[in-house]
Amino acid sequence: MTTLPLVFDAPKRTKPPRHLADLTQEQRRAAVAELGLPAFRADQLSRHYFSRLTADPAAMTDLPAGRRDELVATLLPELLTEVRHVETDNGMTRKTLWKLHDGTLVESVLMRYRRKAAGTAERDDRVTVCISSQAGCGMACPFCATGQGGLTRNLSTAEIVEQAAAAARLAASGELSGGPTRLSNVVFMGMGEPLANYTRVVAALHRLIDPAPGGLGLSQRSVTVSTVGLVPAIDKLADEGLNVTLAVSLHAPDDELRNTLVPVNTRWPVREVLEAADSYAARTGRRYSIEYAMIRKVNDQPWRADLLGELLSGRLAHVNLIPLNPTPGSDWDASPKPVEDEFRLRLAAHGVPVTVRDTRGREIDGACGQLAAKA
């Protein structure tokens, strides 16, 4: 059995440069005032970044021409530098490798799903970006490439937000296959355990959902935070007054197996994780998601499907079955389709809502569990 050192603070590194997205709107106004400018200039700068999706001084014609470069250099420093991107699904899925100010590497994945708006001929595409909250991960789940690489450091609030802002800019530019569109969903399912970087992730959530000029103005229901089950942090998140979706990476219904697949289970076992998720659902009114990677002959037995169904029956929960994605050096494979189908049907027989995830990005190592940020 793998044991996890329960230390969630990342190694200390050079502090990222201060960015507008690190600050509340009042803090932005104070920063602008320090430069000798009226506080309302902070609102204008915020509107350029979050609404107009630009950090180009030349585009900020409502700001004093002689101060634009200074404002941008002070509050909109470049945080992410694209190293490369790769595409699949006819250009509808794009994985980007980013270099941070200190050379740290992280990845994000942008996915476009084509669909028509109900009752019309117009398209209402869903555009989702999967973002990272840490460089690497300290949770040590053995079937996940990110977990196998260990934790490098936490990302700053702005480094998290800028991944979503970059995705919004790309969607609006029309460079993503399908033409210009808007970012609609953000999922914290990239590199890292979001709730192990709690303070910065919660601040990032506010930047994503706050209306202009304070943030991107996304619907809370379109933002999902994933966790392996850090119970105190789930309880704390429930008290934040947010209404984002919670996703729990369970992967096994019994503690014996989950201790191996998700080592933090030795600290907070299945029962406690589900109770915390129930409390979150009760306080927010939002159904939570149970993420379950289907691993051949490891966690896909019929009796485990029944046990999971018994555990979740009557709970405000939905199961998302995920065909295991291959990772380097792993001997584990995805469950065969007939086994997956039986598992799904057994859950449904217990009255548990269940779907099978439409895996995107597997060919470019951009699917769930595959992000490794290799140069």
On average, the pLDDT of the chain sits at: 91
Of the candidates 20, 157, 147, the one whose C-alpha atom is nearest the C-alpha of residue 77 is 20
Domain residue spans of the chain? 20-75, 81-364
Name the band, by pLDDT with cuts 50, 70 and 90, for residue 371. Answer: low
Residue 121, pLDDT score: 54
> 288 pairs with which residues across the strands?
317
CATH number of 81-364: 3.20.20.70
Question: Which helix (H) or strand (E) element contains residue 294?
Answer: strand 288-294
Name the band, by pLDDT with cuts 50, 70 and 90, for residue 364. Answer: very low
- Mean local confidence (pLDDT), 295-322: 97
How wide is the angle at C-alpha 235 spanned by C-alphas 146 and 212, nearest 5°? 75
Long-range contacts, stretch 29-35, CB < 8 angstroms, 24+ apart: 31/74, 31/75, 32/71, 32/75, 35/67, 35/70, 35/71, 35/74
Of the candidates 148, 77, 137, 135, the one whose C-alpha atom is nearest the C-alpha of residue 108 is 135
Which residue in this structure is represented by tokens 């009557």? 314
User: Using one digit for the tens of pLDDT, what is the confidence trace for 53-106?
Assistant: 999 999 999 999 999 999 999 999 999 999 999 998 888 999 999 999 999 999
pTM for this prediction? 0.92
User: Using one digit for the tens of pLDDT, what is the confidence trace for 207-229?
Assistant: 999 999 999 999 999 999 999 99
User: Using one digit for the tens of pLDDT, what is the confidence trace for 224-244?
Assistant: 999 999 999 999 999 999 999
Q: Among all residues, which ones are annotated catalytic? A: 107, 368
CATH number of 20-75: 1.10.150.530
Q: Phi, psi at residue 294, to the nearest 5°?
A: -85, 110
Residue 348, pLDDT score: 98
